[in-house]
């Protein structure tokens, strides 16, 4: 699919074009009136024509990358994902996503939400569907957890995100959340990517455990090519020979992806390191290399957490992290909400 923005064309010439495009299997899928009419023509990557007669030229995919819609080459500028309450991911202010690995109870989520919100987080994370390595480990509260997300969202007014693990989860969780998350283990669950691409909700796509940047961007392309433009890429560490840390947070990939793509990139130093002590330094590093936000796991009592207990921060450690990250954000021309 490609979208051609046709500038300065009148409706008459667009309808004439629509006939000839139709014969080639291309179709005009929408019109925008911004001064002069713009026609949106779906074909295969983004290109711009200034005159109706340029359409045939512009309709040829010219992108050198397979991830045409995700590529910077074919974009009109950085994507800024806009959420309710004026929250943005990809704007000047960094997005701060925090919350427990797993939703365990209403009290646990409420206490975490209140504290992380006070410290500066705009988005609450919490998984109710958990992809666990062992089938004997806590698998999440499942559907039952959705009503907890709903009541905490109402009570605190926070934006909420949660993980979807299979296509049927997308429609199921949509009414309860503001964003969907596709976890590392499902980065190449293509049916899930397609279904998320048909959703109205922005999608946080985490990098696969051993995915290359090319594979990561092609996974994003699945979502974009179904029509959902709001994809946020999340670097969460990759599998290397290192055994002292859970993963190796690949901060190379932040500026690399920024050069290749217009999509916002956030960093998850919790899964990226697996160690609570390393979360602050790697958060600072992530911001310094240009990340558009952070995703941090926070639990009121990390030792007792039902999943990922070695990497979750206490609410006060999180508040301290935010304060210490603000000067780093400012040093690279970004702002950060803090207490």
Provide the binding-site residues for ligand PEP, judged by CB under 6 A: 101, 127, 131, 163, 183-185, 206, 236, 271
Q: Name the residue nearer to ligand PEP (CB basis): 185 or 275.
A: 185
Cβ within 8 Å of residue 111, ≥6 positions away: 300, 315
Give buried/exposed letters for 278-301 (b at 16+ CB in 10 A, else e).
bbbebbbbbbebbbbbbbbbbbbe
Q: Name the residue nearer to ligand PEP (CB basis): 49 or 223.
A: 223
Cα three-residue angle 270-274-280, rounded to 5 degrees: 50
Q: Choose from ligand PEP, Mn ion, none: what does 108 bind? Cβ within 5-8 Å by kind.
A: none
Residue 47: enclosing H or E segment and its boundaries? strand 46-49
Which residue's CB comes closest to ligand PEP?
Answer: 183
In degrees rounded to 5, what are phi and psi of residue 112?
A: -65, -45
In degrees rounded to 5, what are phi and psi of residue 324?
A: -75, -20
Residue bearing tokens 């999608």:
203
Which region holds residue 122: left if phi is over 0, alpha if psi is between -120 and 50, else beta?
Answer: alpha
Shortest distance in whole angstroms from residue 302 CB to Mn ion: 11
Q: Name the residue nearer to Mn ion (CB basis): 101 or 279.
A: 101
Contact set with Mn ion (CB under 5 A): 101, 308
81: which 2 tokens? 């994902």
| CA separation, residue 84 to residues 59, 81, 89, 153, 157 (Å) | 35, 10, 11, 12, 10
Shortest distance in whole angstroms from residue 309 CB to Mn ion: 10
Q: Name the residue nearer to Mn ion (CB basis): 221 or 308.
A: 308
Q: Choose from Mn ion, ligand PEP, none: what does 206 bind? Cβ within 5-8 Å by kind.
A: ligand PEP
Shortest distance in whole angstroms from residue 323 CB to ligand PEP: 24
Shortest distance in whole angstroms from residue 308 CB to ligand PEP: 7
Q: Angle, nearest 10°, between helix axes 315-331 and 106-119?
A: 30
Q: Choose from Mn ion, ligand PEP, none: what does 157 bind? Cβ within 5-8 Å by kind.
A: none
DSSP-derived pairing of the beta strands 179-182 and 203-206: parallel
Q: Choose from Mn ion, ligand PEP, none: what does 47 bind? Cβ within 5-8 Å by kind.
A: none
Q: Name the residue nearer to Mn ion (CB basis): 115 or 308.
A: 308
Shortest distance in whole angstroms from residue 247 CB to ligand PEP: 8
DSSP H helical segments within 44-165, as ranges? 55-58, 106-119, 143-156
Shortest distance in whole angstroms from residue 148 CB to ligand PEP: 16
Q: Choose from Mn ion, ligand PEP, none: what does 183 bind? Cβ within 5-8 Å by kind.
A: ligand PEP
Q: Choose from ligand PEP, Mn ion, none: what does 228 bind? Cβ within 5-8 Å by kind.
A: none
Q: Name the residue nearer to ligand PEP (CB basis): 131 or 281.
A: 131
CA distance 234 to 230: 13
Shortest distance in whole angstroms from residue 234 CB to Mn ion: 12
Q: Name the residue nearer to ligand PEP (CB basis): 184 or 283.
A: 184
């Amino acid at each position: 699919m490609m979208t051609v923005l046709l500038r300065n064309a009148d409706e008459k010439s667009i309808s004439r074009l629509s006939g000839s495009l139709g014969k080639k299997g291309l179709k005009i899928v929408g019109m925008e009136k911004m001064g002069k009419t713009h026609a949106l023509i779906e074909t295969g990557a983004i290109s711009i024509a200034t005159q109706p007669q340029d359409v045939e030229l512009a309709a040829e995919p010219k992108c050198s990358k397979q991830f045409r819609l995700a590529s910077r080459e074919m974009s009109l500028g950085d994507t800024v994902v806009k959420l309710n309450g004026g929250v943005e991911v990809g704007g000047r202010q960094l997005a701060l996503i925090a919350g427990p690995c797993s939703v365990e109870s209403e009290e646990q989520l409420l206490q975490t939400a209140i504290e992380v919100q006070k410290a500066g987080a705009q988005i609450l994370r919490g998984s109710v569907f958990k992809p666990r390595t062992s089938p004997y480990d806590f698998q999440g509260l499942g559907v039952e957890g959705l009503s907890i997300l709903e009541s905490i969202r109402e009570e605190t007014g926070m934006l909420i995100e949660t993980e979807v693990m299979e296509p049927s989860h997308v429609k199921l969780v949509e009414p309860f959340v503001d964003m969907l998350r596709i976890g590392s283990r499902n980065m190449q669950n293509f049916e899930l990517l397609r279904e998320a691409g048909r959703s109205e909700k922005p999608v946080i796509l985490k990098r696969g455990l051993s995915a290359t940047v090319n594979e990561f961007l092609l996974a994003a392309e699945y979502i974009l090519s179904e029509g959902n433009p709001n994809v946020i890429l999340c670097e969460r560490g990759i599998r290397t020979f290192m055994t002292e840390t859970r993963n190796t947070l690949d901060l190379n990939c932040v500026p690399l992806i920024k050069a290749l793509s217009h999509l916002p990139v956030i960093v998850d130093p919790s899964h990226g390191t697996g160690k609570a002590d390393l979360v602050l330094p790697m958060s600072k590093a992530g911001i310094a290399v240009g990340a558009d936000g952070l995703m941090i796991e926070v639990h009121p009592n990390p030792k007792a957490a039902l999943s990922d207990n070695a990497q979750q921060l206490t609410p006060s450690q999180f508040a301290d992290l935010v304060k210490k990250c603000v000067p780093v954000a400012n040093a690279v021309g970004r702002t950060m909400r803090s207490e």
